[in-house]
Amino acid sequence: MIDLSIYREVHAGARAFTLDVAVRSDARRIALFGPSGAGKSLTIRAIAGLLRPQRGHIVVNGVALFDAAKRVNLLPQQRRLGYLQQDYGLFPHLTVAQNIAFGLSRGLFNPGRRQGLPASTSRWVEAFDLQPILGSYPAEISGGQRQRVALARALAVGPRLLLLDEPLAALDVGLRVRMREELAALQAQLDIPTILITHDPQDVLMLSDHVFRIQEGRVVADCAPDELVAQQAAAWAPSEGRVPAMA
């Protein structure tokens, strides 16, 4: 069960934006769908503990990560979440092995280059076929490999929830299709709920079971993925005798 009620006023210069999102679902795969600037990334940051709501609550499978009324606000490292960012967030000065182990390290020191990988990472190194590139740096590997490294790092911590922030947006069309299929296969294997944010209906269709549409900081509707795709197709379909205007 995912139960979110997140309220936060955000100010950037003269611009003010109000995030007021409510999501409640028993689905294992949830998507937050909407255009850029709708508040999707702010919602994910709040769940991850990187943005503190002014009021509301964030509950994952009965565990309160944040509750303003009860003064609960777990630190990001206490929330046990896997967070896959759009740019993957890999450290360029660390090898693939060091990047994967980074989330498991303690203190101020990076995991050493000669230090062996913790046992909890071996499953993901094997699953994503990363053994041949463990000594490589992010700049030396492909976009698909970078995504697999970021996923291995996110999953190595044994997360209670996996957050996917536009995970395919940085990929070219061909690679995006392949990685979408890989992500769907991974979701089928994992007993971990996921929250995906995207503006692509195909991501929603393949990677979610319940989708919430967000506009201007608020949830305006929720439905099944195939319903959203049908709605999007209808919105783009030309009316009789009229060609839809180009943006």
Q: Most distant CA pair in the chain: distance in Å? A: 67
User: CB of 169 within 8 A of CB of 86?
Assistant: yes
For the chain, give every domain's residue range: 91-159
Q: Considering only CA atoms, which of 80, 186, 62 is closest in space to residue 124?
A: 186
User: CB of 29 within 8 A of CB of 187?
Assistant: yes
- Local confidence pLDDT in tens for the 247 residues of the chain: 899 999 999 887 778 899 999 999 999 999 999 998 899 999 999 999 999 999 999 999 999 999 999 999 999 989 999 888 877 788 999 999 988 888 665 433 455 555 557 677 787 888 888 999 999 999 999 888 888 898 888 888 888 999 998 888 777 788 788 888 888 888 888 888 999 999 889 899 999 999 999 999 999 999 999 998 888 777 665 655 554 443 3
DSSP state of 171: S
User: CB of 99 within 8 A of CB of 149?
Assistant: yes
Q: Is 25 helix (H, G, I), strand (E, B) or coil?
A: strand
String of DSSP letters for 124-151 = HHHHTT-GGGTTS-GGGS-HHHHHHHHH
**Separation of alpha carbons 165 and 22, rounded Å:** 18
189-223 in b/e burial notation, b at 16+ Cβ within 10 A? eeebbbbbbbebbebbbbbbbbbbbbeebebeebb
pTM of the predicted protein model: 0.82
Percent helix, strand and coil across the chain, each rounded to 5? 35, 25, 40
